[in-house]
């Protein structure tokens, strides 16, 4: 049984929950009807992870990135529009000769920001995509043999268009694995879209957006995730679920150990956002596809069988197959889990 949480730990979690709530409420003033998707992004931010959106143009991805940056005081947003001729130095920056000083000086690229939107990442050539790997994994870039740290916090929101495939370079598995989550925003409902049209008649709501949390509050949110409890039963279940993806017939490449780490950590962040200091089986089930779905590769036969129904249907079928082979752990009741965990 875990040691009961200290009063200091409870206060730390309460402050972190307040920070997440303020961030969510502020972002929702400009991005409407996407509460769960925004919470996923905030969970990734709390886990120091990155998010991949597979979505069509015009679904507020850029607005979301700017809204997150605009909600954090002193946070810097940046944007990279990927094209086939985009060079790695266009992202990381490069050294330029200064005739006055007669020396080379480094000019940082757009990657030196707190919130980086990489639009249509699959349109960039592989060498440019790989330039983001070090930034995403190590939070640093190396140019001309010099390693430079990136700002903290650092969040990459990358997008790819699922419709247009001509002139694209699919992300390799190694880079897909770097993204904590993959999700979509989707189109708003009719009433939401009417509201969007009305509120943008005079100006964009981003113009009035004010910061509501500090960078230090975001760092406290990151640290608070470690205080959320994951029962040993749930931890074993998470690892068994990920392991099962490597043995299914429809799967050509299963999820890596990094997937187990991401699923457990994201579940703790998700629990915090829901106002709990412990993880439940429902948290894991909610996050399974956003965390695991992009980390597996299906066999050509399975892809062909689900071509008409689409990838979303294939993912649901894959999820159901995984969960059918691994027994959901007990306790499944929240009250029992709280007693066993030692938290109140």
Please spell the DSSP secondary structure of 251-283, one letter per residue. EEE---HHHHHHHHHHHHHHHHHTT-SB--HHH
CA distance 30 to 67: 7
- Residue 242 tokens, joined: 């990920």
- Structural contact between residues 174 and 297, judged by C-beta atoms closer than 8 angstroms: no
Q: Does residue 28 carry a pLDDT above 50?
A: yes
Question: In this structure, how many other beta carbons lie within 10 angstroms of the beta carbon of residue 112?
Answer: 20
Task: Confirm if 271 and 280 have CB atoms less than 8 A apart.
Answer: yes
Q: Tokens for 137?
A: 């994994």
Can you tell me whether residue 159 is helix, strand or coil? strand
Nearest 5°: the CA angle 264, 254, 165 is: 105
The arithmetic mean of pLDDT across residues 297-312, rounded, is 82
* CA atoms lying within 13 Å on the CB side of residue 176: 22
Measured from the Cβ of residue 60, the count of other Cβ atoms closer than 10 Å reads: 22
CB-based contacts of 166, cutoff 8 Å, min separation 6: none
Q: Of 283, 313, 285, 287, which is closest to residue 298 (Cα–Cα)?
A: 313
Distance CA 66, CA 41 (A): 13
State residue 110's pLDDT score. 93
Angle at 184 (CA atoms; ends 248, 210), nearest 5 degrees: 140
Q: What is the pLDDT of residues 271-302, one digit of tens each?
A: 999 999 999 999 999 999 999 999 998 888 88
| Whether the bond into 306 is cis, omega within 30 of 0 | no
Model pLDDT for residues 147-166, shown as the tens digit of each residue: 899 998 899 988 887 766 66
104-157 tens-digit pLDDT: 888 999 999 998 988 888 888 888 888 887 788 889 988 888 889 999 889 998
| pTM for this prediction | 0.88
User: Alpha-carbon distance 157 to 181, whole Å?
Assistant: 10
């Amino acid at each position: 049984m875990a040691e009961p949480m200290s009063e200091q730990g409870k206060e730390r979690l309460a402050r972190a929950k307040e920070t997440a709530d303020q961030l969510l409420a502020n972002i929702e003033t400009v991005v409407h009807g996407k509460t769960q998707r925004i919470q996923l992004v905030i969970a990734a931010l709390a886990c120091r992870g990155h998010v991949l959106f597979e979505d069509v143009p015009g679904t507020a991805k850029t607005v979301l990135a700017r809204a997150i940056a605009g909600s954090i005081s002193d946070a810097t947003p940046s944007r990279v529009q990927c094209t086939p001729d985009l060079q790695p130095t266009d992202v990381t920056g490069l050294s330029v000769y200064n005739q006055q000083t007669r020396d080379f000086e480094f000019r940082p690229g757009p990657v030196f920001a707190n919130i980086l939107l990489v639009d249509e990442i699959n349109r960039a050539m592989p060498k440019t995509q790989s330039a983001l790997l070090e930034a995403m994994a190590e939070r640093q870039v190396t140019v001309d043999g010099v390693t430079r740290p990136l700002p903290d916090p650092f969040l990459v929101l990358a997008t790819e268009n699922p419709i247009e495939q001509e002139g694209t370079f699919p992300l390799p598995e190694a880079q897909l694995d770097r993204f904590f989550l993959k999700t979509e925003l989707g189109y708003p409902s009719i009433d939401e879209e009417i509201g969007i049209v009305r509120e943008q008649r005079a100006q964009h709501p981003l113009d009035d957006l004010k910061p509501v949390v500090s960078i230090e509050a975001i760092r406290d949110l990151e640290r608070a995730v470690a205080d959320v409890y994951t029962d040993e039963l749930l931890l074993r279940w998470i690892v068994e679920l990920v392991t099962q993806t490597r043995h299914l017939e429809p799967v050509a490449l299963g999820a890596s150990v990094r997937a187990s780490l991401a699923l457990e950590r994201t579940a703790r962040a998700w629990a915090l956002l829901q106002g709990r200091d412990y993880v439940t089986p429902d948290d894991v089930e909610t996050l399974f596809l956003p965390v695991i779905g992009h980390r597996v590769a299906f066999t050509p036969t399975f892809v062909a069988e689900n071509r008409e129904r689409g990838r979303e249907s294939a993912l649901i079928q894959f999820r159901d197959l995984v969960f059918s082979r691994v027994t959901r752990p007990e306790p499944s009741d929240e009250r029992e889990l709280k007693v066993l965990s030692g938290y109140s």
